[in-house]
A and B are shown apart, each in its own frame.
Chain A
């Protein structure tokens, strides 16, 4: 198979890569670019562990081809903190212990970031529905919901 040359923007940086036509963006991020924050849980768009933001839309990177990123803007978990300063969501996930094994966490953080960008003051129900595309088998979700509520409060005050 001939490789596809792709020029894209990832976390604000211009990036070029060569990928196979059937290679997912998730595999490109992890295996070619060393951005291993996005995780492969199911590989079929059910678990949300590979969530990224593509041109302001929350998507599963396992359901996007690497070739499709041409000319677009990709945001991953690696771009969430500013240097050593964590994003309020990251800080609140730590404070609320909203994770155990951590596999789902990057996906939850990205999905929560997208949720708060579109709805800065969500109700608990809106948070639960908004994060329904992300599965966590450890926390029972309560701590995640509380962390997102707390982060929303902090971000509103900022």
Chain B
């Protein structure tokens, strides 16, 4: 096993692309080290990306925000601007693990670990976030929902590294929210989760919406029909009812010790409703 800490993205990509055997990218390590400890992975090469210039920063750009791959979730929670513009994304990131884990874990790691129950992913999908990917062939940008392809699997090619998550600057009267169900008050894995992102017009009518569900399918689901249930309406009881019904229907959950299919379907609708209500209020809707 080799441990390297490249100083540039070019070097990191080159080392990964040129590696034989199993290579792992290390940012926060809160998934990787647990998998190594459990014997699920024995990397021949560990590429620590934290020394790469700029990766530990949240940058405000002309288009919005660029959250570097080495930015801890704790640091996201300390960004007043990010919390103001994307409160749902930040509250989702802040739900991952304990204080100790928060100091290390990253949203890029959460995305690339590709758990269907990843807390930050439904919020990012609802937010329309994009992943900036560096690879041997140059850089490309994809929608966040295109990264995980199934539990533990991603669409990233050999040598590719997600450099940053990109979030747009907010249109006026916009709000997002994320909620999850766990059987405890803190520090558990989502049984069901929902992220909702809304933009309203001046009269409080929903102009744009994105709704994402977590832990109810092999990957996080972007439920377009749920967004359609909200667009063109105020958030009245009928719209919320329709949203809940569509979300429950969109689920393709499994039965396991944490929740039954029936329970997950029902709770997906309930959480989508509640998240939509919070997002609507954050957007200034009444």
- Assess the A45–B1 pair: CB atoms within 8 A: no
Q: Mark A58-91, 1 if CB is under 8 A from B, else 0.
A: 1110111101101000000000000000000000
Docked pose: A128 CA to B3 CA in angstroms: 37
Q: Mark A14-32, 1 if CB is under 8 A from B, else 0.
A: 0000001110100000000
- Assess the B37–A57 pair: CB atoms within 8 A: no
Q: How many residues of B contact A (CB 8 A)?
A: 27
Docked pose: A111 CA to B102 CA in angstroms: 13
- Assess the A132–B3 pair: CB atoms within 8 A: no
**Which A residue's beta carbon lies closest to that of B74?**
A57
**Which B residue's beta carbon lies closest to that of A19?**
B3
Give the interface SS of chain A, mostly helix, strand, loop or mixed.
mixed
Q: Mark A39-69, 1 if CB is under 8 A from B, else 0.
A: 0000111101001001001111011110110
- Assess the B29–A64 pair: CB atoms within 8 A: yes
- Assess the B186–A129 pair: CB atoms within 8 A: yes
Docked pose: A129 CA to B5 CA in angstroms: 34
- Residues in B with CB closer than 8 Å to A24 are 33
- Residues in B with CB closer than 8 Å to A65 are 3, 26, 29, 33, 46, 48
- Assess the B103–A58 pair: CB atoms within 8 A: yes
Given contacts A57-B72, A68-B48, contact A44 B37 (CB under 8 A): yes
Contact segment of B10-18, B93-101, B158-166? B93-101
- Assess the A22–B104 pair: CB atoms within 8 A: no
8 A Cβ contacts from B115-157 to A: none
- Assess the A45–B3 pair: CB atoms within 8 A: no
Q: Is there a chain A Cβ closer than 8 Å to B261's Cβ?
A: no
- Residues in B with CB closer than 8 Å to A114 are 99
- Assess the A51–B3 pair: CB atoms within 8 A: no
- Assess the B187–A133 pair: CB atoms within 8 A: yes
Q: Is there a chain A Cβ closer than 8 Å to B113's Cβ?
A: no
- Residues in B with CB closer than 8 Å to A22 are 1, 3, 36, 46
Q: Which of B50, B99, B186 contacts A68 (CB 8 A)?
A: B50
CB distance from A127 to the nearest CB of B (A): 12
- Residues in B with CB closer than 8 Å to A59 are 100, 103-104
8 A Cβ contacts from A115-136 to B: 115, 129-130, 132-134
Docked pose: A148 CA to B72 CA in angstroms: 26
- Assess the B104–A132 pair: CB atoms within 8 A: no
- Assess the A45–B99 pair: CB atoms within 8 A: no
- Assess the B100–A58 pair: CB atoms within 8 A: yes
CB distance from B53 to the nearest CB of A (A): 15
Q: Which of A1, A4, A20, A133 contacts B101 (CB 8 A)?
A: A133
Docked pose: A54 CA to B1 CA in angstroms: 24
- Residues in B with CB closer than 8 Å to A2 are 2
**Which A residue's beta carbon lies closest to that of B78?**
A118
CB distance from A76 to the nearest CB of B (A): 14
- Assess the B3–A133 pair: CB atoms within 8 A: no
Q: Mark B3-25, 1 if CB is under 8 A from A, else 0.
A: 10100000000000000000000
**Which B residue's beta carbon lies closest to that of A2?**
B2
Docked pose: A114 CA to B74 CA in angstroms: 13
- Assess the A132–B98 pair: CB atoms within 8 A: yes
Docked pose: A45 CA to B100 CA in angstroms: 8
- Assess the B36–A63 pair: CB atoms within 8 A: no
Report which B residues bind A (CB closer than 8 A): 1-3, 5, 26, 28-30, 33-34, 36-38, 46, 48, 50, 72, 74, 97-101, 103-104, 186-187
Instruction: Kindly list 4 other residue pairs between chains A and B, CB separation below 8 angstroms, not including A1-B1, A4-B3, A132-B99.
Output: A21-B3, A68-B48, A129-B186, A130-B99
